[in-house]
Amino acid sequence: MKFFDCNLHLDQFKSPLSVIKEYFYFNIKNIVSLCDDINSFTFLNQLLSLKKNIFLGIGLHPNKKYSEFEISSILDLIKEKVDIIGECGLDFLRKFNSLKVQFRYLIQQLKIAEKYDKIVILHVVNAEEEILEILSSFNLNFVVFHWYSGNIQYIEKILENGYYFSFNKCIINFKKYQKYISKIPINRLLLESNAPYKYKGTITKPEDFPKIIETIANIKLIDVDQVSKILYSNSKSIFINKSKNDEKTYIMKNPTLDDFLS
C-alpha cells in the first residue's frame, strides 16, 4: 500500500526533512503541506525548492489574526505561486476572529480560487450551513472539507456539489466519524494526518495510516488494498493532475526518497 497525506503542517515540526524521511518509510509517497503565514511558506519553499512529491499551500486561516500587509501578501502569493489555498474557512466555535473578519478572509480567497482555478482546503467548524451558502456563489472545481465534524445532514449537499472529504485517525475509534464514512462514497474520500495535531492526547503519526485504511475497508466492506488504491487515486486526481509542475515528475509509480528531497 502507498498513501497520500492531503493535509499536514511541515512548518510546525522542528525538522521537516526528518519528518519527510519518516513519512516516506511508512509508504506515504505524496504530501500536501499547508501554511498560514508567509514566513513558514517561504522557509519550506526554499527548503524544498526542487520538491517532486510535496505540494505546498497557504491560506488565511479563520483562527489567525493578520495585519493588512500580511493579508495582501498571502493573497498575492496564492494568486501567483501556489495551486492550493488552505486552510481557509469559518470557525464559529473558537471565534479568534469576528465573523465579519472570517467572512472577509474566506470570500477574498474564494474569489481567487474561482478566477485562477485553485484547490481549496476548508476548515469548517459549526458553520456548515454558512459555508455552503457562500460556496453556492462560486464556481469551484476542487474543494476539500478537511476533517469534517459537522451535522451529518449537510454531507449530502456537500456531495451534490462535487466536493471531497479528508479524514484522519479520528475515524478509528469514534462512531460519529464512522457514520460519516458510511455515508460518503469512497471516491470522495481522502486521507490526511493533520500532523502534528495533538488528538486525544496523542500526536498524529504516519503509522496511523494503515489502521485508518483498515477502518474504512471494514465500513465499506472493500478489500484493504483496494481502499488504499482508491484513496490514493482520489488524491492524485486532485493534487497531482492539477499541479502546474512537470506532470511526468509526479506520475512515477515508485518514487524514491531522493524524489522527495532532491
* Distance between CA atoms of residues 235 and 201, nearest Å: 28
Q: Is 86 helix (H, G, I), strand (E, B) or coil?
A: strand
Please give the pLDDT value at position 250: 35
pLDDT given for residue 193 in this prediction: 95
Which residue type is seen at 257? L
Q: Report helix, strand or coil for 200.
A: coil
Inter-CA distances, 39 with 28, 36, 248, 260, Å = 26, 9, 30, 22
Split into its structural domains, the chain has a count of 1
More confident residue, 213 or 94: 213
- Which CATH number characterizes residue 161's domain? 3.20.20.140
pLDDT of residue 246: 38
> How confident is the model over 73-125, as pLDDT tens digits?
999 999 999 999 999 999 999 889 999 999 999 999 999 999 999 999 999 99
- Tell me which residue range forms the domain holding 238: 3-261
- Contact status, residue 93 vs residue 126, Cβ threshold 8 Å: yes
Helices (H), the chain: 16-25, 38-47, 68-80, 99-116, 128-135, 155-160, 170-173, 175-183, 209-220, 224-235, 247-250, 257-261
Query: Is the sign of the CA dihedral 135, 142, 81, 87 positive or negative?
Result: positive
Tell me the C-alpha to C-alpha distance, in Å, between residue 56 and each of 10, 13, 36, 117, 170. 9, 15, 11, 16, 24
Average pLDDT taken over every residue of the chain: 91
Give the number of other Cβ atoms within 10 Å of residue 93's Cβ: 10
- Give the pLDDT confidence of 217-260 residue by residue, as tens digits: 999 999 999 999 999 999 999 998 765 443 433 333 455 666 55
Q: Which three cell numbers stand for residue 26?
A: 511508512
Q: What is the pLDDT of residues 24-62, one digit of tens each?
A: 899 999 999 999 999 999 999 999 877 778 999 999 999
My answer on whether omega of the bond before 214 falls inside 30° of 0, hence cis, is no
d(CA 107, CA 88): 10
Region 127-145: what's the mean pLDDT? 97
Model's pTM, two decimal places?
0.91
Half-sphere exposure of 94 (CA within 13 A, CB side): 14
Q: Say how far apart CA 143 and CA 176 lie, in whole Å.
A: 22
pLDDT of residue 72: 97
Is residue 55 helix, strand or coil?
strand
Contacts of 175 (CB under 8 A, 6+ apart): none
